[in-house]
Amino acid sequence: MEIEKGAGKIAKCLRVMLYDKPGHLAKVTAVIAEKKASVGDIRLVRMGRTHNTREIVIYVSSEEQLEDVVDSLSNLSGIIVEDVIDLVHQMHEGGKIATKSRLPIKTISDVRKIYTPGVAAVCRDIQKKPELAFKYTTIPNQVAIVTNGTAILGLGDIGAVAGMPVMEGKAALFDHLVGVSGVPILIQNYDPQVIIDTVRNIAPTFGAIKLEDIKAPECFEIEDVLDEELDIPVMHDDQHGTAVVVLAALLNATRFSGLMLKKSVIGVIGLGAAGTGISKLLMSYGVKKVIGTDLDESAKERLVSLGGESGTLDDVMKHSNIVIATTGCPGLIRPEMVRHGSVILALSNPNPEIEPELAMEHGAAFAADGKSVNNALGFPGIFRGALNVRETKINNKMKIAAAQTIARFAEENELVPSLLHPEVHQAVTAAVERAALESGVIKPWE
């Protein structure tokens, strides 16, 4: 059953009982259309002697519109709305991931091989030569997805447990797109040292660590310490996964607009995890001038320490050829601020700092919002490549290789390819492997 149709639409499923006579289903769909909702799948659930029950997926823009549709249907003769099902919540019931055996267990002989007594021989082999864990266990294909829930999507600090559905979603994408086992790790604590200590202690279980939805500035310290101490890759996806896809988007956006990326002045509005990560990767790529602004003075100081410049919102808008906004403040960029011929990526979801259409009406050469820039285009292939060649670090050369590959797979007039493009993740994996080999961050086999 389909559950999504376009940006901003809410998918609901109506379970409706109606007389089994010609015209009654048409009455239902007519009312839905009259209330300016859209119809999706229609499925027959059960048939009775005089009535039948159908589930009808509809798309509405608000709960008020849904209520209006339901009230109008309830007033129709011979039609009863039995239930309104939230398809998104239904999909999450019971969680989205599970740990399952890769091997069939049919006989006691199977049990003796995979468990006791047979497993003891493998344990002794690993004890003598720890490197064999990468041959005989799931460790090299397993990534910890670690959060404390302080910066969940656009929701902010909602706690680690409330962020679990996001972590499960990342794990599901890992499995579907590149065959990696992602394991959510929830740490209900604000103290960076607690997070560092926890991850350090569980690290032997995993081939890599993916930090997720941890707010700035704590995320910078946590990543830096773990990246230095652990001999497996550590990457904070809000910084670097986002930066990779933004770089890919800019490679195409500048092509559409006729700008040269490395010679452009880049303005970054919002210097949290995403804005800082984007700034760092763009400077590593070769951009000479990045101007950033943030309400937090320490965030601007951090950018300056990295080689960027700080300024006001007006400075950024007046002097930048390319503007990237990651503030979470809808409408922050007013139309009169738009510089003629500029490129604007207003990335806050669900509502951008300026609507792309409005930006282009007021002189932007190209504009896009966060719906076009999904970091899930980057992290699966980056981690798959890291695991395949046993990288110890994920460096800028690998991230740039990933971004260039993503950009190359965009179809004509696309900023970046679809998340479900059948080849992009495998191509990113291969590009990251090559970059790792070239930059020499491979852990040698013992």
Q: How does pLDDT run across 401-421, given as a tens digit for each residue?
A: 999 999 999 988 789 999 999
Average pLDDT over residues 255-269: 94
The pLDDT, as a whole number, for residue 440 is 76
Using alpha carbons, list the distances in angstroms from residue 322 to 13, 21, 193, 195: 42, 60, 37, 36
Whats the size of the chain, residue-wise?
Answer: 446
Structure tokens at 305: 């320490």
Whether 170 is a known active-site residue: answer yes
Q: Considering the chain, what percentage of its residues have pLDDT values greater than 90?
A: 88
The number of angstroms, rounded, from the C-alpha of 343 to the middle of its chain's C-alpha atoms is: 23
The pLDDT, as a whole number, for residue 374 is 87
The pLDDT, as a whole number, for residue 349 is 83
The pLDDT, as a whole number, for residue 255 is 87
Contact 253, 415 (CB under 8 A): yes
| Residue 158 to residue 147: CA distance in whole angstroms | 11
In which band, very low, low, confident or very high, does the pLDDT at 443 lie, cut at 50, 70 and 90? low
Residue 149 in this model has a pLDDT that exceeds 90: yes
Is the pTM of the predicted complex or chain greater than 0.75?
yes
Q: Is the peptide bond before 350 cis (omega within 30 degrees of 0)?
A: yes
Using alpha carbons, list the distances in angstroms from residue 242 to 201, 374, 393: 27, 7, 18
The pLDDT, as a whole number, for residue 442 is 66
The pLDDT, as a whole number, for residue 21 is 87
The pLDDT, as a whole number, for residue 78 is 87
The number of helices, as runs of H, and strands, as runs of E, in the chain is: 17, 14
Which has the higher per-residue pLDDT, 283 or 153?
283
Q: Is the peptide bond before 117 cis (omega within 30 degrees of 0)?
A: yes
Query: CA dihedral defined by 419, 420, 426, 432, rounded to 10 degrees?
Result: 10
Question: Is CATH 3.30.470.10 what the domain over 237-446 is classified as, yes or no?
Answer: no
Q: Is 330 left (phi over 0), alpha (psi -120 to 50) or beta?
A: beta
Whether 27 is a known active-site residue: answer no
Domains 10-92 and 237-446 share a fold: no
CATH of 10-92, one of 3.20.20.105, 3.30.70.260, 3.40.50.720, 3.40.630.30: 3.30.70.260
In which band, very low, low, confident or very high, does the pLDDT at 199 lie, cut at 50, 70 and 90? very high
| Residue 200 to residue 197: CA distance in whole angstroms | 5
Residue 445 in this model has a pLDDT that exceeds 60: no
Catalytic residue chosen out of the listed positions 21, 115, 135, 263: 115
The pLDDT, as a whole number, for residue 446 is 46
pLDDT digits (tens, 9 = 90+) for 119-139: 999 999 999 999 999 999 999
The pLDDT, as a whole number, for residue 3 is 44
In which band, very low, low, confident or very high, does the pLDDT at 444 lie, cut at 50, 70 and 90? low
Q: For residue 433, count other CB atoms closer than 10 A to its CB.
A: 21
11: nearest Cα among 53, 40, 36, 43: 40
| Residue 60 to residue 37: CA distance in whole angstroms | 5
Query: CA dihedral defined by 332, 338, 343, 347, rounded to 10 degrees?
Result: 10
pLDDT digits (tens, 9 = 90+) for 290-342: 999 999 999 999 999 999 999 999 999 999 999 999 998 999 999 999 999 99
pLDDT digits (tens, 9 = 90+) for 327-386: 989 999 999 999 999 999 999 988 899 999 999 999 999 999 988 788 899 999 999 999
The pLDDT, as a whole number, for residue 256 is 85
| Residue 317 to residue 333: CA distance in whole angstroms | 9
Question: Which residue is associated with the tokens 């707010």?
Answer: 215
Q: Is the peptide bond before 217 cis (omega within 30 degrees of 0)?
A: yes
Catalytic residue chosen out of the listed positions 12, 59, 170, 285: 170
Residue 4 in this model has a pLDDT that exceeds 50: no
The pLDDT, as a whole number, for residue 224 is 98
Where does 138-232 sit in CATH, by number?
3.40.50.10380
Using alpha carbons, list the distances in angstroms from residue 288 to 21, 212, 253: 71, 29, 18
Listed by start position, the domains of the chain span 10-92, 138-232, 237-446
Q: Is 292 left (phi over 0), alpha (psi -120 to 50) or beta?
A: beta
In which band, very low, low, confident or very high, does the pLDDT at 8 lie, cut at 50, 70 and 90? low
Contact 433, 427 (CB under 8 A): no
